[in-house]
Structure 1
Amino acid sequence: MESEKTLSFFQSRQTPFSSPFFLFFFTILIPLLSFFLFSLRHKIWCNCNTCRSCITSSWSKDFDNLCDWYTHLLQKSRTQTIHIHVLGNTITANPSNVEHILKTRFDNYPKGEPFSMILGDLLGHGIFNVDGNLWRFQRKMASLELGSVFVRSSAFDNVATEIKTRLIPLLYSVAGKNEGVLDLQDVFRRFSFDNICKFSFGLDPGCLELTLPISHFAHSFDLATKLSAERAMAASQWIWKIKRVLNIGSERKLREAIHQINILAKEVIKQRRKLAFSTNQNLLSRFVAITDNESYLRDIVISFILAGRDTVASALTSFFWLLANHSEVELKIRDELDQRIQENQDFATLEQIRHLHYLHAAISESMRLYPPIQFDSKFAQEDDTLPDGTFVKKGTRVTYHPYAMGRMEAIWGPDFMEFKPERWLKSGTFCPQCPYKYPVFQAGIRVCLGKELALVEMKSVAVAVLQRFEIKVDRVGYAAIRFEPGLTATMKGGLPVVVKERSTHAGP
């Protein structure tokens, strides 16, 4: 109301200030003034080598990815911790610090308001973007569902059906063709999108039909996650905030993508309500039963997709890329499959999947080197000192870096860059590592609730594909992975592969 009166006042005055230019100038001036005050309090023009490289992106001359540059800095650090002054960001690869952040002083390191603002337009008040009671409530509801034996069994049945009726037939359709090159990353993203939608919402988008274009929802979701991640990489939050106020550039694209997401998320909720509770064994139905808040339900939908789609697709893509470059590991997995699964068996059982120890070790080792979530940030509520002696000032962004942690000699030994599943085995049995040195699924109070479901899904895909096909990377000199900006690790250019049918397997 007050702003309307102010606008009316200017419109009533016959002065140059009544033009739209003044409103445009006013819109720019306030953020710029705030940015100037912010600059006085933060060292945004620090001239140290690290900050200069960060601002100018000169690190890209020597490193393929930002995460590789951070890894280099952390490897050189005596404490395995660094501070990027211009970002106000303390980054660590020290397991003791990770335990301190995620467990010992969990109360002091929430997601925080800055993080919530960065992802707020996309994630709203979903579980990955909130703290306190709202987070506890959503986690409790999800935990009740995911902890059910019936739900876990149903989830496996969903995965098995998607693999048998869509993924395997699709791969057979291109196997051995002269131009049978397939983007495996795209296939896995479609597969996991279908699967999470069926499991979480009881609805089937049918994305794995390659004859159809990927859904508007999935395309908009990809763009929105990419642009939201770029906000977090900006030297100052005021850069994207000004662009958002003016509705220009990347912020305009983000707004348009989120608009499409909102339309389609509402349709998911509408369809779920139409079906009522005739098929209520899905996560969304539990939330629909307790609230009519459309905005809140929309946030739940987006959070479920982020959790179950991108992370699984990223992990599977990296895993098959590593197998294509390490035939000895692939051979050992096949040997294990031959020992555990009968030759004429159509599909592995859940019990068989759980006892594939070497496969479990290979997938874990793959995520050690290429975690789906490369880093995660919190914000300190109060001054604190990390176990390695690093002082953390109130309001500082504190980031633990799973990608870098997988490349620390102090954690994994001198062979840290080797793809070595054996490091996870003891007398042939899989042995999990300390979650604070391997925080791929987070750790402590926020540990991923869907960890076991994700592992079963990945192992199921690996078994079905490796039993039937040979996958070869179709890119000469493809020795290093380059990543797209995003909330999860996405290979730039996808993963083009040639698919060939194995002669030892009978067929689909």
Structure 2
Amino acid sequence: MMVDIQLSTPLIFCTIIPLFFLILSKLLKRIQESSTQSSPRPNPFPKSYPIIGSFFSLLKNNERFSQWTSEIVKSTPNLTFTLNLGFGRSNVVTANPANVEHVLKTNFHNYVKGGYFTTTMRDFLGDGIFNVDGEKWKFQRQVSIHEFNTKSLRKFVETVVDSEVSGRLIPILKDAAANKKVLDFQDILQRFGFDNICKIAFGYDPALLSPSLPEADFTAAFENALILSTRRFRSLTPYYWKIKRALNIGSEKQLKILIRRVRDSAREIIKEKKRNTDSIGSMDLLSRFMSSGHVDEDLAIDIVISMILAGRDTTSVALTWFFWLLSKNPDAENEILKEIEKTSEDDSALGYDEVKGMVYTHASLCESMRLYPPVPVDAKAAESDDFLPDGTVVKKGVRVVYHPYAMGRVEKVWGRDWAEFRPERWLEREEGDQGKWRFVNKDSYTYPVFQAGPRICLGKEMSFLQMKKIVAAVLRRYRVVPALEGGKEPVMRMSLTARMQDGFPVRIEHRN
């Protein structure tokens, strides 16, 4: 009898629990439809019920969480509201710069990644820099910071990026233009980012941007593992994915297999590094960690995965939205082309100093990331009770979600034309000197696209240099023309980063 019970228990969980949540979701959907029909005035705030909180509103907006919460937070007088997640959980969502500064700087030590985030992402990110706090985070940051000095950045632009642009990116675009191929430009930019981060951080060239656009088990597993890991955040009950993981069923079983593949591939990179310590690039970021004496193989694997996540996704996502916005704003594209021609006659003369001086292009990238920040929302958990500057109460354990996507759409910050792509909002004319443009920065708490405070992104300048180099090389030669079916606009997909759902199909056309 005991054996029968043990064997049947997983089957009970597999059958009853999904059925329970399916029935509950359908019931709540009917309640929602009923309440919507009876309410003549639209209300952006989700209705909250005992125990389940705003479950049905979350269910309805699960695939567009960033856009939905942006609409709510912008409608509040202090750009802050509390979202009842149900089952005793809640988030404070804010687009208030004073609150963001409080969380990311003033009271930094009270706001951490927290157990919810680290538990959700631990299987994938382990103890990598994006999933830890305290001394573990501080150690990885201190080692990493040496890779972002001026000498390293100059080398990055004038060797790694140059070779990837001239040797791989441009030939692929040339072939697409000649043969009138439709490319998934998001995929192309991700491959570019993956090659670059592997070269600069690990001294390893995966050659994903080779002409054949090879399929790599590592990158496919990495992508799918990231998707399934972030899906855990969208689970509307606190234990559903944990039960599936414990029973090793469904998406959690698949995730376990994918993570094993990713970690095995990362382990091979580390082994190759150990075998080839005297090769070019032996003083790359991975080598610094391995020579520190404080990194075992498991932590080295976590570091490799975190660095790939940072270098592959954020820059490629930013450029994907940039090229789409530029296709809709030919005046801005023409201004960038003028700047490129004034800066250099060809790409070989476009070195570190020249790229840094591309002010209008820099402003255009900032404007694109204002509307589509690579990381649309981020969160920190309170370690003790607190008050935000606007008076919002934050209880211990509550997560404060700061919202770069919403913050780029606040009218009182950006003006009535906030929905327009206008790089000039970041610029002003200098007196004399033929009225050259001068970049006017926003403080990092009004524009937290690269985070702010002690955790501000170390790779910020490297990202801008890489993006400007790509923009100059591509636009000098080609027009990037969207080929979305029926002229549709792209949709932002829910993930850690603001990727386009279904990619970004484009046609590449030669300039005169």
Do Structure 1 and Structure 2 share a fold, with TM-score over 0.5? yes
Match of 1:305 among 308, 311, 332: 308
| Distance across 1 between alignment mates of 2:371 and 2:354 | 26
SS in 1 for 2:413: helix
Match of 2:320 among 317, 321, 329: 317
Q: Identity across aligned pairs (percent)? A: 41
SS in 1 for 2:480: strand
The residue aligned with 2:57 is 54
The residue aligned with 1:441 is 450
Deviation at 1:449, TM superposition (A): 0.4
Q: Which has the larger displacement, 183-192 or 228-237?
A: 228-237
TM-score by length of 2: 0.88
Structure 1 residue identity aligned to 2:77: R
Structure 1 residue identity aligned to 2:292: I
Deviation at 1:254, TM superposition (A): 1.1
Structure 2 residue identity aligned to 1:494: G
SS in 2 for 1:336: helix
| Distance across 1 between alignment mates of 2:213 and 2:424 | 41
Change (3 A) 1:290 1:415: same
Q: What are the Cα deviations for residues 398-431 of structure 1, in whole angstroms up to 9, with x where unaligned?
A: 1101011111112211111110100100211112
Change (3 A) 1:485 1:345: closer
Deviation at 1:205, TM superposition (A): 0.5
Given the alignment of the two structures, is residue 480 of structure 1 paired with residue 489 of structure 2, yes or no?
yes
Change (3 A) 1:50 1:74: farther
The residue aligned with 1:456 is 465
Number of aligned residue pairs: 471
Is the contact between residue 228 and residue 486 of structure 1 (CA under 8 Å) also seen in structure 2? no
Q: What are the Cα deviations for residues 4-51 of structure 1, in whole angstroms up to 9, with x where unaligned?
A: xxxxxxxxxxx435653266389899x99xx9xxxxxxxx97269981
Change (3 A) 1:419 1:299: same
Q: How does 1:196-211 map to 2 (within 5 A)?
A: 196-211=197-212
The residue aligned with 2:215 is 214
Q: How does 1:186-265 map to 2 (within 5 A)?
A: 186-265=187-266
Deviation at 1:106, TM superposition (A): 0.4
Match of 1:381 among 361, 365, 383: 383
Is the contact between residue 376 and residue 498 of structure 2 (CA under 8 Å) also seen in structure 1? yes
Q: How does 1:31-430 map to 2 (within 5 A)?
A: 46=49, 51-57=54-60, 59=61, 65-86=64-85, 87-147=89-149, 149-156=150-157, 157-178=159-180, 180-279=181-280, 280-291=282-293, 293-342=296-345, 344=346, 346-427=348-429, 428-430=437-439
Is the contact between residue 64 and residue 494 of structure 2 (CA under 8 Å) also seen in structure 1? no
Deviation at 1:281, TM superposition (A): 2.6
| Distance across 2 between alignment mates of 1:248 and 1:347 | 55
Deviation at 1:370, TM superposition (A): 0.4
Q: What are the Cα deviations for residues 43-76 of structure 1, in whole angstroms up to 9, with x where unaligned?
A: x97269981443431x47xxx8321111110111
Change (3 A) 1:105 1:135: same
Is the contact between residue 55 and residue 236 of structure 2 (CA under 8 Å) also seen in structure 1? no
Structure 2 residue identity aligned to 1:293: D
Given the alignment of the two structures, is residue 497 of structure 1 paired with residue 506 of structure 2, yes or no?
yes
Q: What are the Cα deviations for residues 382-404 of structure 1, in whole angstroms up to 9, with x where unaligned?
A: 11111111101111011101011
Change (3 A) 1:47 1:318: farther
SS in 2 for 1:435: coil
Structure 1 residue identity aligned to 2:306: S
Structure 2 residue identity aligned to 1:186: D
Q: What are the Cα deviations for residues 279-318 of structure 1, in whole angstroms up to 9, with x where unaligned?
A: 3131000111124511000000001001111001100100
Structure 1 residue identity aligned to 2:232: R
Deviation at 1:232, TM superposition (A): 1.2
Is the contact between residue 318 and residue 372 of structure 2 (CA under 8 Å) also seen in structure 1? yes
Structure 1 residue identity aligned to 2:57: C
- Unaligned ranges ≥5, structure 1: 1-14, 36-43, 504-508
Is the contact between residue 227 and residue 486 of structure 1 (CA under 8 Å) also seen in structure 2? no
Deviation at 1:210, TM superposition (A): 4.5
Is the contact between residue 27 and residue 245 of structure 1 (CA under 8 Å) also seen in structure 2? no
The residue aligned with 2:28 is none
Deviation at 1:480, TM superposition (A): 3.2
TM-score by length of 1: 0.88
Structure 2 residue identity aligned to 1:294: E
SS in 2 for 1:88: strand
SS in 2 for 1:65: helix
The residue aligned with 1:7 is none
Is the contact between residue 380 and residue 393 of structure 1 (CA under 8 Å) also seen in structure 2? yes
| Distance across 1 between alignment mates of 2:179 and 2:389 | 57
Is the contact between residue 277 and residue 285 of structure 1 (CA under 8 Å) also seen in structure 2? no
Change (3 A) 1:479 1:95: farther
Is the contact between residue 65 and residue 482 of structure 1 (CA under 8 Å) also seen in structure 2? no
| Distance across 1 between alignment mates of 2:11 and 2:176 | 57
| Distance across 2 between alignment mates of 1:50 and 1:491 | 30
Deviation at 1:379, TM superposition (A): 0.6
Q: What are the Cα deviations for residues 206-247 of structure 1, in whole angstroms up to 9, with x where unaligned?
A: 101241433111111111111111111222231111111111
| Distance across 2 between alignment mates of 1:254 and 1:166 | 32
Structure 1 residue identity aligned to 2:376: Q
Deviation at 1:471, TM superposition (A): 1.0
- Unaligned ranges ≥5, structure 2: 22-46, 430-436
The residue aligned with 1:21 is 7
| Distance across 2 between alignment mates of 1:100 and 1:386 | 7
Is the contact between residue 371 and residue 408 of structure 2 (CA under 8 Å) also seen in structure 1? yes
Is the contact between residue 146 and residue 449 of structure 1 (CA under 8 Å) also seen in structure 2? yes
Q: What are the Cα deviations for residues 91-115 of structure 1, in whole angstroms up to 9, with x where unaligned?
A: 1111010000000110110111211
| Distance across 1 between alignment mates of 2:388 and 2:211 | 49
Greater than 3 Å deviation, 4+ residue runs: 15-20, 22-29, 47-50, 344-347, 476-480
Change (3 A) 1:48 1:369: farther
SS in 2 for 1:102: helix
The residue aligned with 1:39 is none
Structure 2 residue identity aligned to 1:324: S
| Distance across 2 between alignment mates of 1:487 and 1:418 | 25
Q: Which has the larger displacement, 254-263 or 273-282?
A: 273-282
SS in 2 for 1:118: helix
Deviation at 1:252, TM superposition (A): 1.3
| Distance across 2 between alignment mates of 1:48 and 1:400 | 25
| Distance across 2 between alignment mates of 1:396 and 1:495 | 37
Structure 1 residue identity aligned to 2:400: V
